Amino acid sequence: MSKTYNLFISHSWSYPEAYDGLTKLLSDRPYFIYKDFSVPKDDPITSPLLYEAIKRQIAQCHVVLVMAGVYASYGEWIDKEIKIAKTEFSRPKPIIAVEPWGSERTSRVVKDSADKIVGWNTESIISAIRGLAP
C-alpha cells in the first residue's frame, strides 16, 4: 500500500497558476498519493487567525513545498509559513523550494530556507518529497 504524503503548498494567491500547475503535476503522477493541507482560496481564513490556522495545517504535514518564483520574496505570508515550518515545532518541517517552469528569477529567501531545491519536474519534486518526508 502506498504512503499518503501530507503536504503544505505555500504559494501566492496572486499567482494561482503556479499552485494549480504544481497540484496537477502531483495529482497526475501514478503511484503518488498526497493530501493538500494548504489554505484554500475559496475558503480563506481571516488575517488575525491565519497564523495559528497555518501552524495547525503545517503541523499535520510531512513536507512544506514553497513556490520559489520571485513573487515569493514579496509575500508576507510566505515568510511566515517558512518561519512556522522552521521554528514552531520540536522537529522542523522540511522545506522543498520548487522553481517554477521557465522562471528566470527566483526567490533567494525561499531558496536559502529550503532543505532541497528542485526544478519544475514531477520526478524531481516527488523524489524530494519521498526523500525528506519522515
- What confidence score (pLDDT) does residue 49 get? 80
* Lowest pLDDT segment from 42-46, 81-85, 128-132: 42-46
Helices (H), 1-134: 16-28, 47-59, 76-87, 108-113, 122-132
Total domains in the fold of the chain:
1
pLDDT at 120 over 70: yes
Cell 516527488 identifies what position? 126
Q: How far apart are alpha carbons 92 and 76 in whole angstroms? A: 20
Structural domain of residue 99, as residue ranges? Answer: 4-132
Looking at residues 84-113, what average pLDDT do you find? Answer: 89
Looking at residues 89-113, what average pLDDT do you find? Answer: 87
Please name which of 2, 118, 120, 130 lies closest in space to residue 63, comparing C-alpha atoms.
130
Say how many Å lie between the first and final Cα of the chain, rounded: 17
- What confidence score (pLDDT) does residue 65 get? 96
- What confidence score (pLDDT) does residue 45 get? 60
Q: How far apart are alpha carbons 111 and 41 in whole angstroms? A: 25
- What confidence score (pLDDT) does residue 17 get? 82
- Domain of 24: which CATH number? 3.40.50.9200
DSSP code for 104: S
Helix (H) or strand (E) holding 9: strand 4-10
Does residue 84 sit in helix, strand or coil? helix
38-82 pLDDT, tens digit each: 976 665 566 678 889 899 999 999 999 998 876 654 567 888 899
For residue 106 the three cell numbers come to 527566483
- Please state, rounded to an integer, the average pLDDT across all residues of the chain: 87
Does residue 35 sit in helix, strand or coil? strand
DSSP 69-93: BGGGGG-HHHHHHHHHHHHSSSSPP
pLDDT-based confidence at 131, cuts 50/70/90?
A: very high
Does residue 62 sit in helix, strand or coil? coil
- What confidence score (pLDDT) does residue 22 get? 93
